Amino acid sequence: MTDQTTTATAGTAAATATAARLHRLADASGGLVALDPGIDDARMDAWPVPVPQEVRALLRSVGGVRITTNRSAVNGHESHDHVDLDHSYNRGRYSNADVSWYQEHAGGVGTHWFVHTDHGDGHTYVDVDPSTGAWGPVFQFWDATDTDRVAPSLTAWLDHLADCLERALAASPAADTMAPATAADVEAFGRRFGALWPDGDEPRTSVEDVAAAQLRTSADDVLRAAADGLPDDARLADLRSVTGRAAVNFWAVGTTCRYARRASGGVLVAVPWDGE
């Protein structure tokens, strides 16, 4: 068995375990957590990105996670946080609005896969290498040039979500009895979950960016290759040595940028962009 096959097999096993864990949490949540149906292969085959087997193993079982974070005591109206693994941003539309700007901001169609948009204007996506089909680290951006690498893989990111759900459910009596959640359950769970997800008290390591022109003569082969072909004022951040959450502010790039990833997501690139 080759190293590549061994890695893929381990990735599939990890993805399957994560999916099973999410199902167990949803079943024991009293309705606070619900899973979207799995995504079939025909649907994934129509996506503009290749989907490797370990990702398919996860998505066939879980198409998304819907978390109830608030319920009105007056009319029962609920608010949800929705992790959507077939997010409509990937088709350039959201609530009938054109979101192609966000697709380009993340690097262009075929280079990433959106999985979450939050109420604080955070956009979370997985890096996808169009040449190999590999899905890499998970990134998040907000405004023009601030961005985080939040997890080493989609499976790891969903495992972190499961950790937060598990801890938040411990604050809800419904999780112990498997009874339908009451308004008090929702309030306790939502407050606890909001304090934990997405990053809670997880520290961020700030990573400095460097101009592409400077890295073209780097002694580091990876950085030199990553800078090749980029404009002089593009900026690169080396994330390879950071094991946890990494934060980069590409202030020097200007008002906005197009992101790209190199070295399997180990190097984050920001190229100046006018947003058009």
Q: What is the pLDDT of residues 11-68, one digit of tens each?
A: 899 999 999 999 999 999 989 999 999 999 999 999 999 999 999 999 999 999 999 9
Of 161, 176, 202, which closes a domain?
202
Q: How many domains are there within the chain?
A: 2
The pLDDT of residue 79 is 77
Q: Note whether 196 and 156 are same-domain residues.
A: yes
- 3-class SS of residue 165: helix
Residue 50 belongs to some domain of the structure: yes
- In a shared domain, residues 15 and 74: yes
Residue where one domain finishes, among candidates 168, 202, 236: 202
pLDDT of residue 54: 96
> Is 148 strand, coil or helix?
strand
Looking at the fold, whether 72 and 176 belong to one and the same domain comes out as yes
Q: Does 196 lie in the same domain as 76?
A: yes
Q: 86 and 156 share a domain?
A: yes
Range of the domain at 228: 203-276
| Alpha-helical segments (H) within the chain | 3-27, 41-45, 53-59, 100-105, 154-169, 173-177, 183-196, 212-215, 221-227
What is the DSSP code (8-state) at residue 23? H
Does 77 have pLDDT greater than 80? no
Shared domain for 13 and 84, answered yes or no, is: yes
Model confidence at 7, in pLDDT bands (50, 70, 90)? Answer: low
Q: What pLDDT digit, counting tens, does each position of 196-245 carry?
A: 998 877 789 999 999 999 999 999 999 999 999 999 999 999 999 999 99
Average of per-residue pLDDT across 102-124: 94
Joined tokens for residue 269: 């690139």
Q: Are residues 207 and 272 in the same domain?
A: yes
Whether residue 144 is contained in a domain is answered as no
Note whether 48 and 167 are same-domain residues.
Answer: yes
User: Which of 6-10, 13-17, 99-103, 118-122 shows the lowest mean pLDDT across its residues?
Assistant: 6-10
Q: pLDDT tier at 142 (50, 70, 90 boundaries)? A: confident
Helices and strands (DSSP H and E) totals, the chain: 9, 15
Residues 156 and 236 grouped into a single domain:
no
Query: Tens digit of pLDDT for each residue in 151-177?
Result: 999 999 999 999 999 999 987 665 555
Encoded amino acid at 250, one letter: F
Q: What is the pTM of this model?
A: 0.92
Both 181 and 191 in a single domain? yes
Residues 237 and 193 in one domain: no
For the cut 70, the answer to whether the pLDDT of residue 179 exceeds it is no
